[in-house]
Structure formats: C-alpha cells, structure tokens
Structure 1
Amino acid sequence: MLKTKIAVQVVGSGVLADDAIMLGETYLKRWKIPQGQSVVLKFGAFRQHVKVVPVPRYDGLRINQRLARLMGIAEGAALRLQYRAAMATLALGPLIGVLVSRDYPQQPDRPFGSITLFCKELVEACAAQGAYVYFFTPGGIGTDADSVDGWVYHNGWTRVTMPLPDVVNNRLTSRKLENLPSVRQFISMAKSRHQTYMFNEKFLDKHDVFDALGRDPSLSKYLPESHLLLGFATLKTMCARYPVVFLKPVRGSLGKGIIRINRLDGQQFQATYSTAAGSRRQVYPNLTKLFASLSGKVKSVRYQLQQGLQLIEIQKRPVDFRALVQKNATGKWGITSIVARTAGSNHFVSNLARGGTLSKVKDALAKCSLPPSGRGDAFIRLQKAALEIAKGIEAHIPAHFGELGIDLALDKNGKVWLLEVNSKPSKNDNTPLTENKVRPSVRNMIQYARYLSGFER
C-alpha cells in the first residue's frame, strides 16, 4: 500500500529549480500526477505552481532550500501527502497552528513558559502522525494575509515566518487577548480567505451555556436552577428556595471569585469567599446587608446565581468530576478522560488552582459518601451526561469547538448535575493519571485536525 506519510528532503537550489519538486515515481503512477505539467503545491495557505519530476525507486519528496524556507519546512520533516486531482493540487500537511497567549523570546529553552512541555509534546505527536505544528501569539499576527510569525521546533525552538495553517487550535487564555481587533480580524480573514478551520474559537459564558442548554428538554435535567444576578429580588427568591446558593462570575475560571451563600438560623446569612489562600467567611444579620456588601462587585462583574447542591464528599470535602470531551478522527465527540477532583482543606471549590487534588473516578467513588447502591453505574452516567452536553453545546452555541472540559457533579442521591463547561480546558486539570509520554488528549487533537483538513488517511 502506498504510504501517505513521506519524508521531505531539502536539497540545494543548484540541484533543483524553484519551480520543480522530486517525488517517488510510484506516487505519480498511482495518483496519475501529470509529468511536465504544472500542478499546485499546497502547504496551509502557501501555494506555488511546480512541475513534478519522478524519481525511480524512491518513496520521498525533495524540494529545494528556497522553497523549504518559503514553506517553513525543516529538513527531515515527515508529512502527509495527497494529490487532489480535481484541483491539480499536491497537498502537504496538515499544517496546524496553535494560538497561545504569550511567548518569551529571551528564554529560548522555554519560549512558552509553563506550557512549553505541552507544546513540545504536541510537536512529537505531530511528527508521529505526519502533521506539522507551529505556535504563534497575537503579536505574531501582522498585516500579511497569508503568513504569521511563529515558533517551530527542530533541534531547538526557532522563530520563523509560516503560512497560515489548515487548522488553528485557539489556546488563548484571556478574553482580552481573544477580543483584540487584530485577533478577531485574523480569525475572520483566515476562515474566509483560506478556509482555515478554527476550533475552540471563543470562550464560553456561563450564562449563555445554561441559557442555551436550558431550552433543550433532554439537557435541562442536568442543570441546577440558574439565573443572572440582576438585583436583590433575584437573590432573595433563590435564597428563599434553597438553603445554599452560589454566585459565580459569568466569565470566571479556575474557581476565582466564587461566593457561597448559606442561610443560617433566623434571618442571618453567611457568605463564603473563594480565595487562593482558602475560604473566607463573613456572617451578615440579614440578606439586605449581604447584598449591600456585594454591590461593588456586582457593578463591575456579572454573576450567575446558581442553586446549591449537596455534593458527594470524601472526608467532608466536596468532590466533582472533570470530563475531557474531544472530537476524534471521524469528527465525532468522544470521552478522552474523566477524573475526580476533591477540594483542598479550607476550600469549597475543587479546582487544582485552589488546592484541589485529582484521583481516578473509581477510587473517588469507593471512598465517597454516596451509598453503594448509587455507585454502580455512576461512571457510565457521568460519561453519558458529558457526551450529551458536548453535543448540546455544538447544537445550540454558534461556534466551533473541538474539545470541552465539562465539570459534572453527583449529589448525595447519585443524580448527575452540570457545574460548568470550559472551552479552554487546562492541560493540567484534565490530565489522565497515566505515565504515557504523549497523552491521548494530544493525539486526539491532531487526529481531529487531520479529519478537518482532509488528511485523515
């Protein structure tokens, strides 16, 4: 069977003209690539007319140094190759661009700070699958509509100018960066001019998620009652209905800014604030005083008011679950991993950034406060809920997502609830507890990029 992943050899310009490439003779025969006629060589947004020179008993591709430099391809790269006869196009790829928040050129060994290891893992996984990846920041986006300045790894990290990719994975970690005019213009132009696929193209807003899913009867069963905090009346109604409610910043992440409100004896209420150092508690004589204390926050931050749940616990610490749901090699949603997260001491949120710890789901279920009768199919029900919610996000929110971090909970009766959905899941918070060098989550991302760009074989 003819290989679709081939080695690219870079030769001197004196050996091969700029408008010619050499390809194993078998490929020309099998794919009926015309000899002596011009075809289009494509790599991401890069296109150039070339003539294909057959080479007997050779199964690779040779290009000259100037062409390699224009394409951003390093010597020894192994890439997928396809001939698309209808367009007379010889396509190499997929070319994947990962849009990250910042780089540190003064640290050539760690140009992406704490996520450098993840980036290197992605490079290795791409090499194994015949894909090519580079990393770029909003600062690398210029006025050229066909290229960006980014980083590639080839015996070390190097800055290069690269063609716009076939697929962009948006890993920006701040809404401020994502909403920069240059970034919005880049995304729009890449999609319209080059048909670049952009996945995880935007952050999710908690209110938008609950509002969209709440209109779907098959998904509303997973949703705790939830409303935008529009004023005192909303808070009063919810606190009368439930002994515990949560205030969550609509655009918050990592457990920051969450406030738990408990109804105490009489008219008293206790507010518990999530901070990096632990939980801070304050008792108020009545709900009016509590709301007055929040007035400054409410003016500057939109809050989602959510029904409090009686979550399962391990040693009196609440437990929830992070499901990583990804599109796979056939474009379908699948569960990559589910891990349990137990809140740290003096915390009521389970995020790792707030002292939470990871464990395997079966271990957490074995230790938790859930009755044995509710544990048996709990894992299956968590998987089912995560898949249904991912499909619901895709159906009801107008954006393209390739992976979602879905936070779920089990209450003390074993019912599954949705806590929130994250469109930029941390590569620490959802890591399966294994020692694999390349994580399944990374492999899946590349397989989905191959599917989108037509290089699935």
Structure 2
Amino acid sequence: MSSKKITVQIMSPGLLEDDCLVLGENLIKQWKIPIHHPLQISFGSFRHKIKVIPISKVDAVRISQGIARKMGILPRSSLRLIYRPHSSTIQFGPLIGVLISKDYPDTPERPFGQITMFCKELVNACQRQGAFVYFFTTGQINTNSSIVSGWVYGDGWKQTTMPAADVFYNRLTSRKLENKPSVQHFIKEVKSRYGSHIFNEKFLDKTEVFDALDHDPSLARYMPESHLFRNYAMLKAMCAKHPIIFLKPIRGSLGKGIIRISRLEGGGYQTLTAQVGGTRRQTYPSLTKLFSSLAEKMKTTRYQIQQGLLLIDTERRPVDFRALVQKNLAGKWDITSIVARTAGSQHFVSNLARGGSLSTVKDAIAHSSLPGGIKTKIGTRLRKAALDIAIGVDAQIPAHFGELGIDLAVDTTGRIWLLEVNSKPSKNDNTPMGGSKIRPSVKQVIDYSRYLSGFYGGTKR
C-alpha cells in the first residue's frame, strides 16, 4: 500500500480527545480503514489506541495537543501516513534519529558546530518529503530506550524528548563514542524491541575492508596487494616486489600518518610522512634502519602495508577520486557523486585537510597524460568500480551501510584501483549552498530511510 504525505493539524486543548483522530473520508475509503473498530497510531516506538472520526472535504489529519506532545511533533508538520491492516495501525513517519558526536547547547544558533548546516539541510529535506528528523548525542541516550532526548527544528533549534526512531543514521565520528557500552546497548535494544533500522552502524578499518573484499573474485581487478603490517620480513618482501609501498594507519583518517616508502636510485630508502604542516622526508641507508625507525610507531599504531601505485597526475601532483555511493528509495546502491582530488603542492595525499583541491572527473582526466581513447571511458569505469565495491562491502562485511565514501585511483595505464572505503563520509559545512537548496546526498539519506521504514510508495516528492 502507498504512503501519503499529509499535513498534521494539532488541535487546541479541549477540541479533541486524546483517543480520537480525525481523518478525511476519501482516505478512509481508499485505505478501507474501519471506523467502528479499535485502531492504534504509531510513530517510531510510540503507540496509542485511537478511534477514527471521518470528516469530508479535508485532506489532513487532526490530532490532540496531548498526543502531539507525546509524539514530539511540531505544528505545521507534514508527515507520511500509511495504514497497516494486519496490525490495525495508522503509522506516521518515517521518524529518523541522527546520532552525532557532540552538541553545543550554549550556542543554540549553531548547536552542532561544523555539521549544523548539514543537519538543517536534513530538516528541510524531511519537510519536503514528509518525514521527521531529530538529532542526539551519546550523552542523550536514556536508560529507557523508548525515549530519546534530542534536538528538533521548528522556529529555531530546541531540545525535547522523542520516541525511538524507525531509522537511526549513525554519524558518530569517534570510535571511542561508538564503542561505549551505553551506545551498543541502545542499538541492540531499539533493533530488538521496536524493529528500528540503523545504518552506517560501525566504522570500517583498512585491514577489515581489504581482507573481506579479497574473498570476492569479481573485485580482484581493483585490489592492490595489501596486508596487515606485522614485521620486517613483510616489509622486505613488499619492498622487493614493488618500487613504492605505503603504510597506512588502519584506523586513520584525513590522510594523517600515511608513510610512503620508495627505493632510491643510489641505494637506500626514502620515507615521506603526511603531517599537518606538510610532508616529512627522511632517508635511510638500509631497510633494517628504516624498520628500526618504524618499530616505535608500531607500538601504538597498527598499519596496513599496501602496494604503491603510479597514479595519473596534474602538474606533477597526484590525483585520486572520491565516490559517494548511497542506497536509494528502492534500497539499491547508487552513485551520488564522484569528484577528483588533487594533492596539495606540499603533500603526496589528496585529502582536503592536507591542502588538496577538488575538481570534476572530466577536468582531472582532461589534464592528465592518459591516452585519448582511455580518457573517454574513465568516468563510466569509475562509476562501475564504485558500485561493484559497495555491493562487495554489503556482501562480505556483516554490518548495515547506507552510504560509503569510496576512494579510487587511476594509474598511468588507465587501470582503476581501490584505495579506501570510508563508512563515515565527511559532512562538515564546506559545501557552498544557496538558500533552501538540498543536495542529492541529503535527499538520498531520506529516500533510503523511507525505504527501510516502508514509506516508499505514494505521492510525488
């Protein structure tokens, strides 16, 4: 059965009893809702017994102020409705909860710091599509999992209590927060008690991704040789096999701490280490000396050792590509965007935090030294690679993901390689937007939430 986007009218006190719901006659007939039969309404984990009162020529739903308060919804909200005959339930939704790392109650105009603009964009997208979203931190999780303290947006940001959501979107940027016992208990509880869906439910590390994807023969063409770095013998074997290798912190982000190792023509080895201010260059007369310098770092940081690639470049600066891959209203992976990232002049990694710059795939390929016949096909092949890898992550890693940042590289022969998969793509306020514009990446989050909660049919958005 299709869902319908409808305006929720909240009645003044005394005009409507808490156990009554007023609904247009046309919708009652269309959905065959029994008006002389006990029903219930649901909104996330909220449940309440009601009787339906039909009204003619009104395309809205009316509820009491008491019920609206328990649901946590605001005046002039637009929500989707769907009737579930098997449970005699009129379901409002979808209700989406976004789990974030930190809030700043003392700055109510910008309560989520750098991601406030993204959060407001999610609110706007929900209003257009007939959904409701709230935001909460790990500190706002209650011992009673049916109620969450969080932030909503009406005439400004305000804190309130909400039911547990139909869909939770995990935007935690800290593994420490994600692994808190209270967070893991909450995730387990809302899944089992209320059937909530949680996507992007965990961080990925590099070893986990490469080991898992190595089990999928269809992805072999994208996979550079990659292992968990354990000892000198492994370093020696990889350096003998490949002229350049990389050591990447398995839980690193933003390019921090990546080490590039290359053989020097006159003998010895050189390392380049990505740091905040630029690149640190060091030389070693032998591989044993180089390994000795790494031994101290290996006590606190685990590395993935990976085959180095000879990447295409622009003005002698290496270029790679970030694909944002998200699930859509049909629950299938889609490419939302692919951008080229060019390393800054003082860096060998392309992350924006390390001075990298963005451009279109077309521009980056046009300015590369690839042969013309290969250039025309790279865009299509990058899209296929990103989709193949996203499908592989779903198949091989036992966790629920709805969006992935997939970093790809193109070598000087035109071959495409996987560099990294990120389950928490950045949402900082660094993308220029005009007015009430909603980016496709934000709309897709709502689309997938609608799919998960069963509100995917019905009226146009």
2:276 maps to which residue? 276
Residue pairs, 1:268-347, within 5 angstroms: 268-347=268-347
1:216 aligns with 2:216: yes
Answer whether contact 1:342 1:357 (CA < 8 A) is retained: yes
One-letter code aligned to 1:180: K
Secondary structure of 1:381's aligned partner: helix
1:114 aligns with 2:114: yes
Distance in 2 (CA, whole Å) between partners of 1:69 and 1:119 is 22
Distance in 1 (CA, whole Å) between partners of 2:2 and 2:394 is 36
Q: Return closer, same or farther for 1:269/1:185 CA change in 2, 3 Å cut-off.
A: same
Secondary structure of 1:14's aligned partner: coil
Answer whether contact 2:79 2:93 (CA < 8 A) is retained: yes
Distance in 2 (CA, whole Å) between partners of 1:358 and 1:425 is 15
Distance in 2 (CA, whole Å) between partners of 1:365 and 1:63 is 57
Q: Return closer, same or farther for 1:311/1:432 CA change in 2, 3 Å cut-off.
A: farther
Identity %: 61
Secondary structure of 2:325's aligned partner: strand
Deviation, structure 1 residue 371: 2.3
Q: Return closer, same or farther for 1:181/1:361 CA change in 2, 3 Å cut-off.
A: same
Deviation, structure 1 residue 439: 0.4
One-letter code aligned to 2:144: D
Distance in 2 (CA, whole Å) between partners of 1:30 and 1:417 is 52
Distance in 2 (CA, whole Å) between partners of 1:23 and 1:433 is 38
Answer whether contact 1:339 1:432 (CA < 8 A) is retained: no
1:198 aligns with 2:203: no
Distance in 2 (CA, whole Å) between partners of 1:3 and 1:171 is 27
Deviation, structure 1 residue 384: 0.6
1:356 maps to which residue? 356
Q: Return closer, same or farther for 1:352/1:152 CA change in 2, 3 Å cut-off.
A: same
In the superposition, the TM-score normalised over structure 2's length comes to 0.96
One-letter code aligned to 2:243: P
One-letter code aligned to 2:200: N
Q: Return closer, same or farther for 1:433/1:90 CA change in 2, 3 Å cut-off.
A: closer
Q: C-alpha offsets along residues 267-305 of structure 1, whole Å, 9 cap, x if unaligned?
A: 411111101111110111111111111111101111000
Higher relative contact order (CA 8 A, sep 6+): 2
Answer whether contact 1:278 1:346 (CA < 8 A) is retained: yes
Q: Return closer, same or farther for 1:2/1:100 CA change in 2, 3 Å cut-off.
A: closer
Answer whether contact 2:3 2:82 (CA < 8 A) is retained: no
One-letter code aligned to 1:50: I
Task: Report which stretch shifted further, 19-28 or 435-444.
Answer: 435-444
1:38 aligns with 2:38: yes
1:165 maps to which residue? 165
Distance in 2 (CA, whole Å) between partners of 1:240 and 1:316 is 26
Residue pairs, 1:423-434, within 5 angstroms: 423-427=423-427
2:79 maps to which residue? 79
Deviation, structure 1 residue 3: 7.8
1:394 maps to which residue? 394
One-letter code aligned to 1:287: L
Structure 1 outlier segments of 4+, above 4 Å:
428-436
Deviation, structure 1 residue 435: 9.6
1:4 aligns with 2:8: no
Distance in 2 (CA, whole Å) between partners of 1:241 and 1:359 is 33
Secondary structure of 2:291's aligned partner: helix
Structure 2: gaps (5+ residues): none
1:21 maps to which residue? 21
Deviation, structure 1 residue 432: 10
